[in-house]
């Protein structure tokens, strides 16, 4: 059983695994071409890595205004929003307001009642004014 493994090892050892020079050169030139292409595609994208490459080359090409603004705002905005939301939730938990009043006030039935009350108040006022006018 181990004989075969040893044979395999031996044959692997005796195998000529030196690459051909032409194949190597061809692979190198193709790889370098791909590398340059990759580099230039990043340059034209104008993303963060693009800027890094430009800095390496000694020339600075700034990002577009929109991109710069997003870079500056993105994290601040997200963290700000998350922070204020969590503070609000914490405040609600601490204060523990009675939300049922809000719900009652906001309900359509309550809104109708308010309207009716307003109308009756107006009627009462009109009646009182009429009585005052009629008084000698």
- Contacts with another protein, residue ranges (CB under 8 A): 1-2, 4-5, 8-9, 11-12, 14-15, 17-20, 23-24, 26-28, 30-32, 34-39, 42, 49, 52-53, 56
Distance in Å, CB of 61 to another protein, minimum = 14
Indicate if the alpha-carbon torsion angle 60, 65, 69, 71 is positive or negative.
Answer: negative
**C-alpha–C-alpha distance, residues 45 and 37, integer Å:** 12
Distance in Å, CB of 32 to another protein, minimum = 7
Which of left, alpha, beta for 21 (phi over 0: left; psi -120 to 50: alpha)? alpha
Distance in Å, CB of 5 to another protein, minimum = 6
Q: Which CB sits closer to another protein, 52 or 127?
A: 52
Q: Which CB sits closer to another protein, 4 or 65?
A: 4
Burial tier of 32 (Cβ tally within 10 Å: 0-12, 13-18, 19+): exposed
Q: Which CB sits closer to another protein, 48 or 130?
A: 48
């Amino acid at each position: 059983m181990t004989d075969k493994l040893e044979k395999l090892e031996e044959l692997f050892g005796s195998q000529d695994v030196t690459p051909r020079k032409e194949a190597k050169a061809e692979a190198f030139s193709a790889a370098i071409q791909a590398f340059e292409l990759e580099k230039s595609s990043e340059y034209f994208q104008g993303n963060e890595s693009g800027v890094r490459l430009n800095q390496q080359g000694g020339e600075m090409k700034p990002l577009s205004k929109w991109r710069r603004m997003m870079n500056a705002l993105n994290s601040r905005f997200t963290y700000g929003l998350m922070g204020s939301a969590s503070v609000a939730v914490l405040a609600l938990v601490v204060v523990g307001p009675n939300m049922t009043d809000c719900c009652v006030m906001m309900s359509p039935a309550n809104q109708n009642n308010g309207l009716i009350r307003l109308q009756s108040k107006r009627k009462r006022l009109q009646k009182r004014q009429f009585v005052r006018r009629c008084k000698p």
